[in-house]
Structure 1
Amino acid sequence: MPVQSRLIFLLTLLIMAIQPVLAEQNKPSTAVVQEGSARFTLLTDRLIRMEFDSQQHFEDRQSMTFVNRQQAVPDYQVSRDEQWLQISTQYIKLRYRRHSSEFTADNLAIELMVDGRPVKWHPGKKDTANLLGTTRTVDGFKGRVNVHNGEQLELEQGILSRDGWHLVDDSDNLMFDEANWVSDHNKDQQDWYFFGYAHQYKDALRDYTRIAGKIPLPPRYAFGYWWSRYWVYSDGEIRDLVDTVEQYDIPMDVLIVDMDWHNTYGLTSNQPKPTPFKGMLGWTGYSWNKAVFPEPERFLQWTEDKQLKVALNLHPADGIAPMEDHYQDMLNALDDPVIKDDWLAYRMSDKNWSEAFFEQILRPLEKQGVDFWWLDWQQWPTSKFVAGLNNTFWLNHTFFTDMQRTYPQRRPLLFHRWGGLGNHRYQVGFSGDAVISWDSLAFQPYFTSTAANVGYGYWSHDIGGHIVDDKAVASDGELYLRWIQFGALSPIFRTHSSKTDVAERRIWMYPQYFPAMRDAIKLRYSLAPYLYNAGYQAWQTGVSMIRPMYYDYPEQSQAYQSPAQYMLGDDMIVAPVTQKADPDSMLASQSVWLPSGQWFDISNGALLEGNREINGLFSIKQIPIYARAGAIIAQYPELDNLKSVPDKLLLTVFPGADGQMTLFEDDGMSNAYQQGGGAITRMESKRNKEGLSLHIFPVEGDYQGMPQQRSYRIRLPMSLVATQVKVNGKLLPKAQQSYDGKQLTQIIDIPVEDSRQDIHIDIDYPADWQAAVSALSGKAGYFDRLNMLGDKLKLMSARQDWGATIPDSILQVLDTATKINYHPNNLLDDIKTFDQGVAGLQDNIDGMPQISANEAKQLTAFLQQFQLTGETND
């Protein structure tokens, strides 16, 4: 490397080392109590660090996991008698035998209260009810079972436990030096972190991320749709693919180019050949394959013009091949190169090697237009050059911090595998090559939400699955649809597959399921402000956007027994369908536990009482989503991508209670959010005897590109038709009000207003509206099911007699939504007529002569499944 470049690199490291914030983080907390060779640090009133070092060489450097021990001093008391040291806070009491040796069950104990009962911890006590965290990969797993050896997938322990405490042993962890580089550790020291949070799970995660680093907010584009497929794509094929995506009106933000973007030196057949380091030829490469990308700069300029962010796949552990474009530059920059068969060995833990790798190998590609990197499988878990160093962790750290240094004006984004505690600082995770199966899909909601227990809130799965175990299953369009519906409501939405002709990932190749697939992708984009806001909250609080039910309901046993569902942000429960639909009804069953209170079934338009389990039935286009009663959900209008914040916002105000929301928005790319940058918009809704009032507060804050003016569309599901609407005291013209009869939703369009203006919206309904509105609950779902019934009846009658038709009494019921659209003011009368018609459906169907007795029996079974809430358990 040229001397000038090396000096710049070292100067950057020096600047980082002396930054005041980092200097503060390296200091020990002032809440320190030392007793001989033991040191206790009160990081919070429920989190205590316990060190024992016979030489009293206590460790103040940052560890790989814990990087910020400088915390506000909690209230605590210290007392000593001849035998015991006692440290007490409001929540925990620690006792340590003075003048004793390293920590054992005989000399150390901590007492705390858990769910009203005393609990005593001591060294060696087992955490028997740990709620687990995550693991490095699901490669080769069909659900939770490895298809190669039958072993169960084991998740690492997390920070949370139903026992009420958890101990992190950081004794063998490596340290960061002042330049944020790997350093050794004191092997003779005990270094423990005791979390005594009982069942205050959110508090535990908040404090964990304070000392282990916050969960960074990804760029806004990362919340969009990612296209990925393991395939030998050419420049032209990708252009054709994107053109087709646009023709089918599918929004997209990220383009992942898998391994075949680069040359595959020495690989002349499909037979795998090893590199000198026992990886596979074809996995690693850093030079464009000009046979498929003849002019990479023009390709990357085209992706930029298309507003697509691009990531390339890497396998760094295999080193640098001698035929790479910048091999000689890399060789020249190394002080002490390690060469095997002319290949430069991977040595990321060597600062000189790392410096050269980023500057000579990756920087030229980034300058061409590569936006971020996909770090794929590493051939060995731990470093061969630094004892105890986790290769995956270290790659994630070096890549992420290199982006921070090199591009300080934008947020880093990395796509990689889990490397252990502390890896939540480097989003986004790649979960690996799952087997394509219904079992794999069913496991992923649990796997994803449980990772929140270690702050790892941005898992990206191979949506659709990767490994083909059963060709019929791999080509199942219904499975792919349900996986897409889960993916649309997961942290990162990336479809993917292996090199195979059966696992098609182009959604337009599944005509039967395509509309529902596209609807799921568009739902993702519609919910982008809600999801992005949840990502910002994760940075603030340590609580990931997708989290288990027990975070909010820790003392309810059902919250621990509902692994197939999760909270999506603060106001939604999602229970993805993970099994095939019944072939006759085309409805799939999915159970969900609803906590106490009322919840709005979005897919069926029903307001449901909670504190029970519901067995719902869902058509292929329905996703089981339940909104908290009164919730206000911010949404975007239809978008092609998430490049900018639109000047129109959709607000869905759900029935059942008052509600509020605080929406965070910013430029989507800078790190200003970490210093208070961005803008906040607050909304509140209140219900009264006249109707509903909605208050949109003036926006607070600013950011580059912020809409200075904004219009709003207010959606009120399960709503009567408003008698009048006032905006800031003035009547809103009827032309700006409409009613969706199919969804039974009042729509109110608020014209463009200054975003810093107060907006008060008052919506009046007919007298006694609160009693009348309950008649609408679930009817939108019935309309959808009746369309399915109508299709069945038309097919059955047409088979018997080409002139046969369906009785008018049935047709009138089927077309109720259209009548409501034409005359919304007759809504309640039409609903009453509809209820009467539904009650007589069975008799009318039985009276159709062209339908056989067997077919009538099938329709009877179908009608019985119309009960939207299914069987319930109180």
Structure 2
Amino acid sequence: MSYLIASRLQWLKFIVFLVLLTQLSLSAYAQKILEPRANPKAMVQEGNVRFTVLTPRLIRMEWTTSGTFTDNATFIVVNRNLPVPRFTTVKGNGQVIIKTDELELQYKIGSGKFTNQNLSVKLLDTKHPFTWTPGLKQTGNLKGTYRTLDNYDGDEQIWDKTKMELEDGLLATDGWTLIDDSKSLLFDHSDWPWVMPRVTTDHQDLYLMGYGRQYKKALFDFTQIAGRVPLPPRYAFGYWWSRYWSYSDNEVRNVVHNFEQRQLPLDVFVVDMDWHNTDSLRAKDDVFEQPKGWTGWTWNERLFPNPDGFLHWMKDQDLKVTLNLHPASGIAPFEEPYQRTARYLNFDTTGKANIPFAGSDKRFMQALFNTVLHPMEKKGVSFWWLDWQQWPNDKKIKDLNNTWWLNYTFFTDMERTSAVRPMLYHRWGGLGNHRYQIGFSGDAVISWKSLAFQPYFTSSASNVLYGYWSHDIGGHQFGRGAERVLNPELYVRWMQFGALSPIFRTHSTKSASLNKEVWNFQGEYYDALSNAIRLRYQLAPYIYTMARKTYDTGLSLCRPLYYDDPETKEAYENPSEYMFGDNLLVAPIVSAMENGIAKKKVWLPAGNNWFEWNTGALLKGGQYVNRVFGLEEYPIYVKAGAVLPTYPNVKNLSHDPEQCVLAVFPGADGATKVYEDGGNSKDYASAYAYTQVVSRHLPGRIQKITIMPRKGQYAGMALSRTYRLQLYGAEMPVQIVANGKKLNYTTETNTKDWSYNGQELSVNIPLAKANAVQQQEVTVYYSKTDSIDVNNGLVRKFRQLSKGITALKFKDAGIILPHVVGNCEETNLRLQYYPAQFYKALNYFNQHFTEIPKAVEKATNASNATWFQEYFKANLQ
């Protein structure tokens, strides 16, 4: 008995130790980005002027009448303690000259405030030279982002018809950018750094970035002083279901069951503001002049009779839940947390007044989190959707923007107190908000014009590191005078873009006609929508790997073409195209089809060939190409030779699946590093792993794929991994050897034999489960005597021919297909069934393909033959 008591005491001590350790680690995590005091060796001071060399391309320039300089973190700049770059300082002839490897600064000593007469900075790169002086205006800013798309039809405001003017970004073709931080609010030095106004008013606090066309280096430099872009949890890159609807517990469960029934993955369920009670006795607006019903903190038990039970059920489904918040009206007397919040604040409740929202009051915000929000988080609310759109600035601190400040307080509270990775989504508040992750772009108008604008809007935001915009996919509301009917083709194209955007979230206003659930669509619309969701999950490990790159480098997932091609004018002239990570180029379809096809002119950058994934065409870079696509097809271009980590079918991203499918694309050698971590762990900065994969083409028509031993570690890391290789655009191999063992061929995919997919013209090679630190090697041997081009659009020809023949049968159910038609239409399966006849079957297809319309003409009536000829000409030539 005494031994049992002693054991229990030891266990309790251990638990207390763990709690204290966790608290210390959380505090340290929150503080690590705030290192605002620069290394003195980086500083050059001359009286009332101080220069700090932060990187070879970035210099801070301060002037003040008092001679006292600011070393606090500001809302934009939180870190100046960087490795001191190489630079020289020369003083003489009344000047100080500071020279880095890339910039040269000159200042007239003792001449006071910075002007174009006493200060200049020039770029030493002779290819893109400039000389900057105070007051010089940029002419080529590449723009950043904008607070919200609320009530915008594309870039046009529907009420006053004004055009959106994106804020200036960090990059410009001028080669330099000035960040004037003179008016930024400061952070104090408390354990939870809090806002404080600047005391000095007569001062200058400037940061000059001089980068020429080194855009990527400029963005990285900015992360060094303004903080990195945090890595969202893995589940954030799945599909989010959201709708402004007064969902009940029953309805939510039905929606979830519908996803499960159709085997459609889902990660996040968003519950809009009807989740909470409102004060029905109030007039249209409340005492804070906010619309009645926006602010609320108490579950509406008419819809959710047991909120704890609802959240528990959602957790059992491996789903994350977020709730909508409009905090402007504070906490009303009818709210469930009113009394305990009042006690926390010593607030006088005798008058039954609202506890007013006071964002700049640390005590109030602590009360809000500790008495209102943390209890709900503990019961299962994963993160918060802030829908702040009421007051532009705080009531007490004039220049404190509520959007910016709420982003900071909510994110850093979770950073400090939660055991999981912090996340929220809210509107853009300005420079520095990249530290608080995901943007909610607001209530865009449903139109082709809005869809056409969003790819540019999304990628340009990377110029301020705001790389995680979450759009209302499909649009939020109908425009003025627009037909109140959801166009299914428009919705499909929006979903296809959404699957290739940073955050994949559908949403719409409270309208009975906006039923965006996939199961409300039929036929090719249902197929295209389902495929968009599945593509998102297929690409999830690639997306997550690129998100880690965002954290490491500042390069957003969706980014403009000119990052990689800064010297090429076409990279600037095609703003709707964007890179989706390092290896995918997307050219969104943003207009309606004509006669069943979408025509798209695409610019492909030089330096690579590009594999058009949906059609199987390998295209040369450095040119414009005119392409056509059906509803289920989309312009996704993969760099030749790229290796993409992908997933097989999964339920969602709550767990890292055991199997990883390595998609290897044709046209060149390639390699990748596959990233993994704990998925929702806070220690991802140091606890993670990479697996390198290399694909090489050797003499004698041999391809070798090597999976290197995994490097790194993190808590919960699986020791073993199952890989499957999928070689796109590949001929039929004659032999495959995996880890020294010859594999057998099978016509139907299984887990031990290799197979060939005739629809995709891809080779599928399953590998046995193996220790992740074990190197694996697969050698693929192709015929030395035969070869054929399989990357000339055959995938699309097979697909469209099959669709056309099926449609023809519905016009003439009794048709007897001529031999040439049947042979060509079944080519994809002949390739699988008869691997030894691979080249014979493809040669037959290529030789007889153009004969198909004439053969059909002889087998059916004139009307059907004319229809098929037109279909063939539009889709197959």
SS at match of 1:304: helix
Residues 698-777 of structure 1 correspond to what in structure 2 (within 5 A)?
Answer: 698-735=709-746, 736-767=753-784, 772-777=787-792
Find the counterpart in structure 1 of residue 475 from structure 2. 465
Find the counterpart in structure 2 of residue 825 from structure 1. 836
Question: Is residue 558 of structure 1 aligned with residue 575 of structure 2?
Answer: no
CA contact under 8 A between 2:140 and 2:173: conserved in structure 1? yes
Alpha-carbon spacing, 1:492–1:822, altered in 2? closer, same or farther (3 Å): same
Find the counterpart in structure 1 of residue 222 from structure 2. 208
Q: What letter corresponds to residue 321 of structure 2 in structure 1?
A: V
CA drift of 1:710 comes to 1.6
Question: Is residue 120 of structure 1 aligned with residue 137 of structure 2?
Answer: no
SS at match of 1:494: strand
CA drift of 1:842 comes to 3.8
Question: Is residue 440 of structure 1 aligned with residue 454 of structure 2?
Answer: no
Question: Is residue 577 of structure 1 aligned with residue 592 of structure 2?
Answer: no
CA drift of 1:706 comes to 2.2
Alpha-carbon spacing, 1:410–1:851, altered in 2? closer, same or farther (3 Å): same
CA drift of 1:340 comes to 9.2
SS at match of 2:311: helix
Residues 227-376 of structure 1 correspond to what in structure 2 (within 5 A)?
Answer: 227-266=241-280, 273-334=284-345, 342-376=353-387
Q: What letter corresponds to residue 667 of structure 1 in structure 2?
A: G
The answer for unaligned runs of 5 or more in structure 2 is 1-18, 747-752
Alpha-carbon spacing, 1:540–1:732, altered in 2? closer, same or farther (3 Å): same
CA drift of 1:811 comes to 2.8
Alpha-carbon spacing, 1:759–1:22, altered in 2? closer, same or farther (3 Å): closer
Question: Is residue 518 of structure 1 aligned with residue 530 of structure 2?
Answer: yes
CA contact under 8 A between 1:666 and 1:673: conserved in structure 2? yes
> Within 1, Cα distance between the matches of 2:545 and 2:352?
51
Find the counterpart in structure 1 of residue 465 from structure 2. 455
Aligned counterpart in structure 2 of residue 225 of structure 1, from 239, 255, 258: 239
CA drift of 1:23 comes to 6.8
Aligned counterpart in structure 2 of residue 418 of structure 1, from 397, 413, 428: 428
- With 539-548 and 775-784 compared, the bigger mean Cα shift is at 775-784
Alpha-carbon spacing, 1:235–1:482, altered in 2? closer, same or farther (3 Å): same
Q: What letter corresponds to residue 130 of structure 1 in structure 2?
A: N
CA drift of 1:789 comes to 2.4
> Within 1, Cα distance between the matches of 2:123 and 2:836?
61
- With 363-372 and 544-553 compared, the bigger mean Cα shift is at 363-372
CA contact under 8 A between 1:252 and 1:640: conserved in structure 2? yes
> Within 1, Cα distance between the matches of 2:68 and 2:850?
80
Alpha-carbon spacing, 1:117–1:362, altered in 2? closer, same or farther (3 Å): closer
Aligned counterpart in structure 2 of residue 182 of structure 1, from 164, 186, 195: 195
1:187-213 CA distance string (max 9 Å, x none)? 221111111011111111111011101
CA drift of 1:378 comes to 2.8
Q: What letter corresponds to residue 692 of structure 1 in structure 2?
A: Q
> Within 2, Cα distance between the matches of 1:638 and 1:46?
46
Question: Is residue 544 of structure 1 aligned with residue 556 of structure 2?
Answer: yes
CA contact under 8 A between 2:731 and 2:790: conserved in structure 1? no
SS at match of 1:531: helix
CA contact under 8 A between 1:658 and 1:686: conserved in structure 2? yes
CA drift of 1:360 comes to 1.1
SS at match of 1:30: helix
CA drift of 1:522 comes to 0.8
Aligned counterpart in structure 1 of residue 872 of structure 2, from 844, 852, 863: 863
Find the counterpart in structure 1 of residue 73 from structure 2. 62
1:704-737 CA distance string (max 9 Å, x none)? 3322222211111111111111122222233511
CA drift of 1:547 comes to 0.7
Alpha-carbon spacing, 1:517–1:18, altered in 2? closer, same or farther (3 Å): closer
Alpha-carbon spacing, 1:19–1:224, altered in 2? closer, same or farther (3 Å): closer
CA contact under 8 A between 1:392 and 1:419: conserved in structure 2? yes
1:424-458 CA distance string (max 9 Å, x none)? 10011100000001111111111111111111111
Find the counterpart in structure 1 of residue 750 from structure 2. none
CA drift of 1:473 comes to 6.7
> Within 1, Cα distance between the matches of 2:438 and 2:234?
13
> Within 2, Cα distance between the matches of 1:337 and 1:353?
14
CA contact under 8 A between 1:16 and 1:22: conserved in structure 2? no
Find the counterpart in structure 2 of residue 871 from structure 1. none
Q: What letter corresponds to residue 452 of structure 1 in structure 2?
A: S
Q: What letter corresponds to residue 243 of structure 2 in structure 1?
A: R
> Within 2, Cα distance between the matches of 1:612 and 1:328?
67
- With 834-843 and 14-23 compared, the bigger mean Cα shift is at 14-23
Q: What letter corresponds to residue 607 of structure 1 in structure 2?
A: L
> Within 2, Cα distance between the matches of 1:387 and 1:340?
28
Aligned counterpart in structure 2 of residue 784 of structure 1, from 799, 815, 824: 799
Q: What letter corresponds to residue 411 of structure 1 in structure 2?
A: R
Q: What letter corresponds to residue 118 of structure 2 in structure 1?
A: N
Alpha-carbon spacing, 1:635–1:803, altered in 2? closer, same or farther (3 Å): closer
SS at match of 1:377: coil
> Within 2, Cα distance between the matches of 1:22 and 1:433?
33
Find the counterpart in structure 1 of residue 117 from structure 2. 106
CA contact under 8 A between 2:106 and 2:119: conserved in structure 1? yes
CA contact under 8 A between 1:699 and 1:755: conserved in structure 2? yes
1:60-118 CA distance string (max 9 Å, x none)? 00000100011111111111222322111121111112211211111111111567142
Aligned counterpart in structure 1 of residue 861 of structure 2, from 821, 837, 850: 850
> Within 1, Cα distance between the matches of 2:399 and 2:328?
17
TM-score by length of 2: 0.93
Aligned counterpart in structure 1 of residue 628 of structure 2, from 617, 639, 649: 617
Alpha-carbon spacing, 1:81–1:720, altered in 2? closer, same or farther (3 Å): same
Q: What letter corresponds to residue 226 of structure 2 in structure 1?
A: A
> Within 2, Cα distance between the matches of 1:158 and 1:168?
10
Alpha-carbon spacing, 1:607–1:338, altered in 2? closer, same or farther (3 Å): farther
> Within 1, Cα distance between the matches of 2:441 and 2:48?
42
> Within 2, Cα distance between the matches of 1:683 and 1:547?
24
Residues 26-65 of structure 1 correspond to what in structure 2 (within 5 A)?
Answer: 26-27=37-38, 30-65=41-76
Alpha-carbon spacing, 1:721–1:129, altered in 2? closer, same or farther (3 Å): same
Question: Is residue 794 of structure 1 aligned with residue 809 of structure 2?
Answer: yes
- With 855-864 and 420-429 compared, the bigger mean Cα shift is at 855-864
Equivalenced residues, count: 845
CA contact under 8 A between 1:115 and 1:198: conserved in structure 2? no
> Within 2, Cα distance between the matches of 1:354 and 1:339?
22
SS at match of 1:228: strand
SS at match of 2:67: coil
Alpha-carbon spacing, 1:192–1:867, altered in 2? closer, same or farther (3 Å): farther
Q: What letter corresponds to residue 147 of structure 1 in structure 2?
A: I
CA contact under 8 A between 1:17 and 1:178: conserved in structure 2? no
Find the counterpart in structure 2 of residue 89 from structure 1. 100
Alpha-carbon spacing, 1:211–1:200, altered in 2? closer, same or farther (3 Å): same
Find the counterpart in structure 2 of residue 3 from structure 1. none
CA contact under 8 A between 1:630 and 1:657: conserved in structure 2? yes
1:813-869 CA distance string (max 9 Å, x none)? 2221122221122121111111122222343345456123xx65654444333467x
Q: What letter corresponds to residue 296 of structure 2 in structure 1?
A: G
The answer for unaligned runs of 5 or more in structure 1 is 1-7, 869-874
CA contact under 8 A between 1:719 and 1:773: conserved in structure 2? no
CA contact under 8 A between 1:230 and 1:496: conserved in structure 2? yes
Find the counterpart in structure 1 of residue 603 from structure 2. 593
Task: State the Cα RMSD in Å.
Answer: 2.2
